[in-house]
Amino acid sequence: MTNHIALFEPLMPANTGNIARTCAATGTTLHLIRPLGFQTDDKHLKRAGLDYWDNVNIEYHDDLDAFLATIPDQRYLYLITKFSNLVYSDQDFTDTTHDHYFLFGKETTGLPEDFMRDNPEKCLRIPMTDKVRALNLSNTAALVIYEALRQQQFAGLELSHRYEHDKLK
């Protein structure tokens, strides 16, 4: 079982870089759905200090339909949006016989409204006040993936880490 974070037409390289780091740290596959608002060639990544990029399993998709075609069971697709009454932490992510896919929208406009209206049962929300339009994309992705991993008992992750000095004993 693998968890997946999918970014629909991401615009900001810093957000994608932060999410890629979270994916590297959690063993989560990152899906980037084109068009992207930045380049991911080696020169740009090195300049941005993304030295962990080669530790991220990244899949590129030409559009939303191409991404959706790769999901074997659409019941495990979750659309992260503020337009939902379902709270992300109330969802059960414990089924480890299937991959879980968390789809996040473009920083400026989110996911396509028609797509969300056609799939309200897949839409999940992070509670927040009405004082801001939205949470930062990379913070949102981290919240959601770590909730799924918590429910999955952090399977495959290092639960404790020792100081280098202690490892020598």
105 marked as binding residue: yes
80 marked as binding residue: yes
CB-facing half-sphere around the CA of 48: CA atoms within 13 A: 20
DSSP string, 84-114: -SSBGGGS----TTS-EEEEE-BTTTBS-HH
* Model pLDDT, residue 14: 86
* Model pLDDT, residue 45: 58
- d(CA 122, CA 79) in angstroms, rounded, equals 6
This prediction has a pTM of 0.92
* Model pLDDT, residue 40: 79
Q: Among 63, 76, 71, 73, which Cα is nearest to 8's? A: 63
Report pLDDT digits (tens) over 25-73.
999 999 999 999 988 776 665 555 577 888 999 999 999 999 999 999 9
User: What CATH number is attached to the domain comprising 141?
Assistant: 3.40.1280.10
What's the structural domain count of the chain? 1
Residues 120, 143, 2: CA angle, nearest 5 degrees:
80
For residue 104, give the amino acid letter: F
**Total residues belonging to the chain:** 169
* Model pLDDT, residue 165: 67
- Per DSSP, the three-state class of 3 is strand
* Domain boundaries, position 70: 3-167
- d(CA 120, CA 83) in angstroms, rounded, equals 9
* Model pLDDT, residue 168: 58
Residue ranges of the chain with per-residue pLDDT less than 50: none
* Model pLDDT, residue 38: 84
